[in-house]
Amino acid sequence: MLSIRGLRYAVEDAGGGREILGGIDLDVERGRLVVITGPNGGGKTTLAKAVMGLIEPASGSIKFNGTELIGLSVTERARLGISYGFQHPPRFKGLQVTELLSIAAGRKLTPNECCAYLVKVGLCTEDYIDREIDASLSGGELKRIEIATILARNSSLMIFDEPEAGIDLWSFSKLTQTFEAIHKRSDSTIIIISHQERIIRLADEVVLVAGGRVTQTGAAGDILPHIGDVAVDCAIKEALV
């Protein structure tokens, strides 16, 4: 479904060029739930953005169902069936929650349909359906609406970037159930960037990204004991040398 080879990305900073992705190789099979984890600044979000087309990598290949994505616009990738839930979603003055969910679904949703998506992210729907996505929403509310847009989009590849960030404990529990349910009931491939053990435990496969490289892949049970230990830190140091 998704095949990434030799993906590199660098940014210019005060000290010259800094490599964020140092040659990522990754394969994700259809219908799998993959959690990408690893230390902050390791390149996880950059990798996800490169798949969605939000950044342009310096080199490498990203194939989605055999189609090369490099060179395609964000819109084209979205229409091929890729969606991305922003880590820090934007606000829209004047745009209502139901409108955003309808854009995501590609058709006008009924209030009941919108409610169904909002319930899945732990929002009490009647209060939100006509709300504008503006500064009156808290960070956690905004984040949950962002996740609901991905659920409404229902693409064949859903990427969630730290969906748990800013979300309270009760909603987090609802969210993990939702991920589990989508994974069980649909063919969609799900990639979640997360630091949360409960989300990592949902994964068919965990990918550890550190220092701009995939340092380890495996089952949650194999990877979890190593998160935060010296091996990870060394991987970062190695990458920085």
Residues that bind another protein (CB under 8 A): 52, 54, 73-75, 78-79, 83-84, 86, 88-90, 92-96, 99, 103-104, 106, 149, 153
Nearer to another protein, 59 or 92 (CB): 92
Taking the complex as a whole, how short is the minimal distance between the CB of residue 52 and another protein, in angstroms? 6
Nearer to another protein, 101 or 214 (CB): 101
17 contacts: CB under 8 Å, gap ≥ 6? 10, 11
Nearer to another protein, 52 or 62 (CB): 52
Taking the complex as a whole, how short is the minimal distance between the CB of residue 234 and another protein, in angstroms? 35
- In total, the chain counts a number of residues equal to 241
Taking the complex as a whole, how short is the minimal distance between the CB of residue 11 and another protein, in angstroms? 16
- Report whether 17 contacts 187 (CB < 8 A): no
- DSSP annotation string for 105-160: HTSPPPHHHHHHHHHHTT--HHHHTT-EESTTS-HHHHHHHHHHHHHHH--SEEEE
Nearer to another protein, 15 or 94 (CB): 94
Taking the complex as a whole, how short is the minimal distance between the CB of residue 216 and another protein, in angstroms? 29
Nearer to another protein, 104 or 206 (CB): 104
Taking the complex as a whole, how short is the minimal distance between the CB of residue 29 and another protein, in angstroms? 23
Residue 161 to residue 170: CA distance in whole angstroms? 19
Residue 103 to residue 209: CA distance in whole angstroms? 33
Nearest-10 crossing angle of helices 97-105, 111-120? 90
